[in-house]
Amino acid sequence: MFRVELKKEISNEEITEWLKELNQPPFIHEERIDGGRGGDYGGRAVGP
Amino acid sequence: MRNGLTAAGAATMGAGLLAHSSSVFAERGPEEHSGRLTPGDAALLRFAAAAEILETDFWVQYNELGGVQDSEVPGGSGNPAYTAALEVLDSDMAQYIHDNTDDEFTHQNFLNAYLASKGADTVNLEQFRTLPGSSATGSSGKLRLTNLTQLTLDTSWWTRYRSSTHNPDLDPNFKFPQAVPTLAVGQHTAIPRTDDDTKDTNFLQAIANTAGFHFPTIEQGGNSLYPSMAQRATHVEVLRILISIGPTETMHFQTWSDKAGNAPPLTAVDPVTGVSVTFPDLNSPPFGGEDFQTNLIMPEPCPFLSRKLPPCSIIRPTETKGIAMGVVNFLTAMGLFIGQPPAFFELLRDLAEDADEARRGR
């Protein structure tokens, strides 16, 4: 069993700003991932 | 974040140069496991695996609607109207879509299996499979990682590979002209979103043409990614992996660049968004002629490494610095991830930063 751990914290605001630079709309459904718990992505594991 | 750098990275990937990404977030947590690989090699392969997973996801969407339907690439049932519109570009489109999809599956599976075989962490993005995708006939209706319905395409590869005087690695500020300027603004769907999108034959052809240009736009990215990353591989076996997968992306790119040249000229307005797109006749001025005719699908020789050396027919760009973050910016600016949450972008940037930090020998 392997998993990749996120090792840096990037705030939603920083990502929103980055998306603006790329001329892209911000994310729209973070609640699907973290249940609306703001910047806390819980386990955040992306491994199986 | 250094404003401007990341946006420039996206713009120049399309134009052919990857800006050097800044290491914005200095604070480090626990490192991923690299097993018996060097951390750098593991990071290079992990980023490649992530890119291949994302590629696989959108190729599956294309295959479900417009590819050959068989047990080798199962899932969809085909959309006859969309498939027919794609075949206007080439009668073999369905076969090529199927085979490109199959290729990407094998890339993602192999890269993760290799990482696991070396005791290194692998990549799995299933947590982010939340996007709805198409509901048109033929779609499996599965949730997706990527969004093919709001694309903004940089088609400057069309002129980059036909230029004999400019190489993005040597001319970072040169702006290669777009083949289809209207695809570079606004958001365009490359698949029928619903069956309503298949009712107007002109708009459906515009959707198929958009796909026809999306295919080479994507594959030219992989075409540059692999040789760029390979320059920083440590172990010869990792180098072998990168230089063996990379040229298949090149084969895809050249095939698709040939088909894109067959996209019939037209103008259409998206009935849902009101966005207009015009596909020009690429065999007429300002294109066409000896330099730009559509059947010129082999790379025009261009300056390489130094203008003091003779021109050389090459993949470009292959600048290695910042390549992974440049690809993330490129794909994000394309709109491929519209709808994904911050954690998704955070992960991609994390993987890219690690890959960009890889150096030969560590």
Q: What ipTM did this prediction achieve?
A: 0.71
Q: Which residue has the tokens 């997706």?
A: B144
Which CA distances in Å does B36 have to A2, B120, B336? 14, 7, 34
Which pLDDT score, from 0 to 100, does residue B4 have?
A: 33
Q: How far apart are CA B321 and CA B356, in angstroms?
A: 7
Q: How far apart are CA A32 and CA A9, in angstroms?
A: 19
| Residue among A8, A21, A47 minimizing CB distance to B124 | A47
Residues B1, A18: C-beta atoms closer than 8 Å: yes
Instruction: Convert the pLDDT of each residue in B69-103 to its tens digit.
Output: 999 998 999 999 999 999 999 999 999 999 999 99
Quick one: CA dihedral B69, B75, B78, B82, positive or negative?
A: negative
Among the residues of chain B, which ranges form H helices? 5-15, 39-66, 80-87, 93-117, 157-160, 201-230, 236-260, 289-292, 323-333, 342-357
Instruction: Note whether A13 contacts B: Cβ–Cβ < 8 A.
Output: no
Instruction: Convert the pLDDT of each residue in A14-41 to its tens digit.
Output: 888 888 888 887 665 544 444 333 333 2
Q: What are phi and psi of B213, to 5 degrees?
A: -90, -25
A15 contact residues in B (CB cutoff 8 A)? 342, 345-346
Which pLDDT score, from 0 to 100, does residue A36 have?
A: 35
Interface mutation target, options B127, B145, B150, chain A, most CBs of A under 10 Å:
B127
Which pLDDT score, from 0 to 100, does residue B348 have?
A: 95
Where does the pLDDT of residue A7 fall: very low under 50, low under 70, confident under 90, or very high at 90 and above?
Answer: low
Interface of B with A in 318-347 (CB under 8 A): 329, 332-333, 335, 338-347
**Chain B residue with the nearest C-alpha to that of A14:** B1
CA–CA min distance B21, chain A (Å): 12
Length of chain B: 362
Interface mutation target, options B32, B331, B351, chain A, most CBs of A under 10 Å:
B32
Q: Which residue has the tokens 């990857």?
A: B18
Q: How far apart are CA B315 and CA B295, in angstroms?
A: 18
Residue A38 identity (one-letter amino acid)? G
Q: How far apart are CA B22 and CA B121, in angstroms?
A: 25
Phi-psi region of B337 (alpha: psi -120 to 50; beta: other; left: phi over 0): alpha
* Pick from B16, B322, B13, B323: nearest CA to B166: B16
**Number of CB atoms found within 10 A of residue B298's CB:** 12
CA–CA min distance A46, chain B (Å): 5
| Three-state SS at A46 | coil
* Pick from B265, B152, B136: nearest CA to B199: B136
Structure tokens at B146: 């990527």
Which pLDDT score, from 0 to 100, does residue B31 have?
A: 59
Q: How far apart are CA B125 and CA A48, in angstroms?
A: 9
Contact B245, B227 (CB under 8 A): no
Residues B121, A6: C-beta atoms closer than 8 Å: no
Q: How far apart are CA B85 and CA A33, in angstroms?
A: 37
What is the C-alpha end-to-end distance of chain A, expressed in Å? 7
Residues A18, B33: C-beta atoms closer than 8 Å: no
| Three-state SS at A2 | coil
Interface of A with B in 19-48 (CB under 8 A): 19, 21-25, 27-30, 32-34, 39, 41, 44-48
* Cross-strand bridge partners of residue B195: none
Residues A29, B341: C-beta atoms closer than 8 Å: yes
A7 contact residues in B (CB cutoff 8 A)? 28-32, 350
| Residue among A7, A27, A30 minimizing CB distance to B31 | A7
Residues of chain B with pLDDT under 50: 1-30
Which pLDDT score, from 0 to 100, does residue A6 have?
A: 56
| Three-state SS at B282 | coil
Which pLDDT score, from 0 to 100, does residue A16 have?
A: 85
